[in-house]
């Protein structure tokens, strides 16, 4: 026969689970849809270039009007325009002259494979091994610059992100 003490543990666990689920529903806090929309647009790499420790805090500050839509250097002008449209805030005239989003490139002649850039990248956009040449996955790189400041050989430089390069066109065919 099953003793009463053996049944008390699952019964107690069931009651605690019910109490926690009721507490979660009762004390639930509604999320701000604007903050959620901003967070979805931001790169979420927590690079800190906007002055906040993470993209979630930056999204809250943007929705409160404490931070402008052009605060994210990795996102570049394209992200600034999207955030401006979402928030209904015009971009400043000086920001229109900004270049398109940047990514980094490693110069193979200067890279000695120290892995400092690899360790600093919050997006895991750098591939390579110790004492080997490193490479950048440009599809993942946001151009936050964390790796640029970590490189002791100055082997990492900025270039225009090929994904956001606008204005290109196929050459016109030559009629012979």
Contacts of 15 (CB under 8 A, 6+ apart): none
How many other CB atoms are found less than 10 A from the CB of residue 22? 10
- Compute the average pLDDT of residues 58-84: 87
Q: Which long-range contacts (CB under 8 A, 24 or more apart) does 145-149 make?
A: 145/47, 145/49, 145/73, 145/104, 146/47, 146/120, 146/121, 146/122, 147/104, 147/116, 147/117, 147/118, 147/120, 147/121, 148/104, 148/117, 149/120
pLDDT (0 to 100) of residue 132: 87
Q: Where exactly are the structural domains of the chain? A: 33-97, 102-163
Q: Residue 100's pLDDT band (boundaries 50, 70, 90)?
A: low
The pLDDT score that the predictor gives to residue 95 is 44
Note whether 122 and 55 are within 8 A (CB): no
pLDDT over threshold 70, residue 56:
yes
Contact 71, 58 (CB under 8 A): yes
* pLDDT > 90 in the chain, percent: 26
CATH number of 33-97: 1.10.15.40
Is a pLDDT exceeding 90 seen at residue 20? yes
Strand partners, 160: 102
pLDDT tens digits, 36-48: 999 999 888 777 7
Same fold, 33-97 and 102-163: no
pLDDT at 24: 93
Helix intervals (H) in 27-150: 33-41, 55-64, 76-87, 116-120, 146-150
Q: Report helix, strand or coil for 100.
A: coil
* The CATH classification of domain 102-163, taken from the options 3.60.21.10, 3.40.30.10, 3.30.70.20, 3.40.50.2000: 3.30.70.20
List the Cα angle 122/128/131 in 5-degree steps: 120
Per the confidence metrics, is the pTM higher than 0.75? no
Q: Which of 71-75, 81-85, 93-97, 149-153 has the lowest mean pLDDT?
A: 93-97
Q: How confident is the model at residue 158 (pLDDT cuts 50, 70, 90)?
A: confident
- Calpha distance 104→126 (Å, rounded): 10
* Mean per-residue pLDDT, 38-63: 86
The contacts of residue 73 (CB under 8 Å, 6+ apart) are: 49, 50, 102, 143, 144, 145
The two structure tokens encoding residue 108: 């193979």
Torsional sign, CA 98, 104, 106, 111: positive
How much of the chain, in percent, has pLDDT values that exceed 70?
Answer: 85
């Amino acid at each position: 026969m099953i003793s009463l003490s053996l049944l008390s543990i699952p019964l107690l666990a069931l009651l605690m689970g019910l109490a926690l689920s009721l507490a979660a529903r009762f004390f639930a806090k509604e999320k701000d849809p604007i903050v959620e929309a901003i967070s979805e647009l931001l790169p979420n790499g927590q690079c800190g270039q906007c002055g906040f420790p993470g993209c979630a805090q930056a999204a809250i500050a943007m929705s409160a009007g404490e931070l402008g839509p052009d605060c994210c250097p990795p996102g570049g002008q394209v992200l600034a325009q999207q955030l401006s449209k979402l928030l209904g805030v015009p971009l400043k005239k000086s920001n229109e002259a900004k270049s398109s989003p940047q990514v980094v490139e490693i110069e193979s002649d200067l890279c000695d494979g120290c892995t400092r850039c690899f360790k600093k990248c919050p997006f895991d956009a750098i591939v390579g091994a110790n004492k080997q040449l490193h490479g950048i996955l440009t599809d993942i790189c946001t151009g936050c610059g964390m790796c640029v400041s970590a490189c002791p050989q100055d082997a990492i430089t900025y270039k225009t992100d090929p994904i956001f390069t606008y204005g290109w066109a196929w050459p016109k065919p030559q009629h012979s």
